[in-house]
A = this chain, B = another copy of it.
Amino acid sequence: MKIETKLEYFTTPLYLESGRILEPYQITYETYGEINSDASNVVLVCHALSGSHHAAGRYEGDQKSGWWNGLIGDGQAIDTQKYFVISSNVIGSCFGSTGPMSNNYPSNQPYRLKFPVLTIKDMIKAQKQLLSNLGIYHLKAIIGGSMGGMQALQFAVDYPNFADKIIALATTYATQPWTIGFNKVAMEAIRRDPRFNNGQYEKDAFIENGLDGLAIGRIAGHISYLSPDSMSKKFGRNYVSNDGLFELFGRYEVERYMEYNTNNFSKSFDPMSYLYIVKAINTFNLSRGYDSLYDAILRIKAQTTLISFKGDYLFFPSEMEHIEIMMQRNQQNIDYYEIESDYGHDAFLVELDKFEDIIKQALEDEQ
């Protein structure tokens, strides 16, 4: 599989949903496989909150592969012998696209909290611009989970003729207050951390010692990515501290898991980007800009595959079902799968064997 990581600069303005303008901006993206002569084999893959353009393959020296490495590759469900896969880092991110810690023009200082609020609509608009610059005006498919699924759905609503197919996993039609609540923990924990200093921190200040506020917010996140059942199966009431049950800060296994994952995360993810991306998730609502959710969904022309997971406590299956029911009623081209899983929301990143055949089939189906 041929992998390329590239950066594209845009000097044309990006008109944002807020009315503000992002100019100039850049997008980092990765491609897998090769484009065919008529550019008819392009698949766009969209990442989630903590993801990046690095969806597949493994960089030299890295222990971990891309976040959907098991799904994207030669002979895999998203077969790079057939498809040319593009994975772009969303704007707002800290992994190479323009975000709040990028330098503003012409001051050459980081935007920080002056960075404009971005939405999912803005993210896909930027990606569409990227594709145009690459000479790609039509996609075979758009695939993503969680915030990636929001992008796939938003693409299908905003640009109905742009992709033949969309596949959205573990996502929703509009972010619900339960999920906004979880995000609130992160937003407040970051905002109130003295080291966050109202955004006036040095770039890369937290590489050595991650920001506590982000780590704490991420603990709440990890609760929502798992589920009561998955946590009971994974951790039970196992206690792992040597200092015994009667030590105030002694740890249950679930607590150690939370600490380990979140402390590391807070060293590698910029807290300002986290705030902006979480805000984009909060404001996600397919109906915005249309007369109703029904009107928005009625616009979809792509062959749509929706995959939800039974134990998903962040975006409940009923939310995906809500889309399915509308599309069924409209006799739109929709397939919906609710998958049994012990992994909760994380299933879209973990239990690939449970849905890789669905994705493979959906991509191969002739419309």
Q: Contact check: which of B17, B18, B248, B253 meets A275 at CB < 8 Å?
A: B248
Please determine whether B178 and A17 come into contact, CB atoms closer than 8 angstroms: no
A181/B222 contact (C-beta < 8 A), A113-B248, A246-B116, A248-B117 known: yes
Q: Is the interface of A mostly helix, strand, loop or mixed?
A: helix
Inter-chain contact A178/B18, CB cutoff 8 Å: no
Q: Using an 8 Å CB-CB cutoff, how does the interface string of A193-236 with B read, 1 for contact, 0 for none? A: 01000000000000000001001100110110011100110111
The answer to whether the Cβ of A247 comes within 8 Å of any Cβ in the partner chain is yes
Stretch in A71-79, A159-167, A278-286 with 4+ CB within 8 Å of B: A278-286
A249 touches B187 (CB 8 A): yes
Query: Is the pair B180, A192 in contact by a Cβ cutoff of 8 Å?
Result: no
Question: Among the interface residues A177, A237, A255, which one has the most CB atoms of the partner chain B within 10 A?
Answer: A177
Neighbour of A255 across the interface among B17, B184, B258, B283, CB < 8 A: B184
Q: Which residues of B contact A245 (CB under 8 A)?
A: 18, 117, 283
In the bound complex, residues from chain B placing their C-beta under 8 Å from that of A279 are 248
List the B side residues contacting A18 at CB < 8 Å: 245-246
Q: Which residues of chain B have C-beta atoms less than 8 A from A252's C-beta?
A: 177, 180, 282
Check: A357 CB closer than 8 A to any chain B CB: no
Any B CB within 8 A of the CB of A191: yes
Residue-wise interface mask of A (15-34) relative to B, using a CB-CB cutoff of 8 A (1 in contact, 0 not): 00111100000000000000
Closest to A282 in B: B252
User: What is the bound-complex CA distance between A197 and B19, given in angstroms?
Assistant: 44
> Is residue A265 contacting chain B, with contact meaning CB distance below 8 A?
no
Asked if A180 and B255 make an inter-chain contact with CB atoms under 8 angstroms apart, the answer reads yes
Knowing A176-B228, A176-B237, the reply to whether A184 touches B254 (Cβ < 8 A) is: yes
Complex CA gap A283/B250 in Å reads 11
Q: Could you mark each residue 266-289 of chain A with 1 if its beta carbon is under 8 Å from any beta carbon of chain B, else 0? A: 000000000110010011010000
Among B181, B187, B254, contact of A177 (Cβ-Cβ < 8 Å): B254
**A254 contacts across to B, CB distance below 8 A:** 177, 180-181, 184
Interface assignment of A174: CB less than 8 Å from any CB of chain B: yes
Within the complex, the shortest CB–CB distance from A63 to chain B, in Å, comes to 26
Say whether, besides A223-B181, A254-B180, A246 and B17 are in contact (CB < 8 Å): yes
Q: List 28 A-B contacts (CB under 8 A).
A: A18-B246, A19-B246, A117-B245, A117-B246, A176-B228, A176-B231, A177-B232, A177-B234, A177-B254, A178-B223, A178-B232, A180-B237, A180-B252, A181-B223, A181-B231, A181-B255, A182-B223, A184-B219, A185-B223, A187-B255, A188-B212, A188-B258, A192-B212, A219-B220, A220-B220, A237-B285, A248-B276, A248-B279
14 more contacts with CB within 8 A, not counting A113-B248, A178-B228, A252-B282, are A18-B245, A19-B246, A117-B248, A176-B231, A176-B237, A178-B227, A180-B254, A184-B219, A184-B258, A185-B216, A185-B220, A188-B212, A188-B216, A189-B216
Interface residues, chain A, CB within 8 Å of chain B? Answer: 17-20, 113, 116-117, 174-178, 180-182, 184-185, 187-189, 191-192, 194, 212, 215-216, 219-220, 222-223, 226-228, 231-232, 234-237, 245-249, 252-255, 258-259, 275-276, 279, 282-283, 285, 313, 316
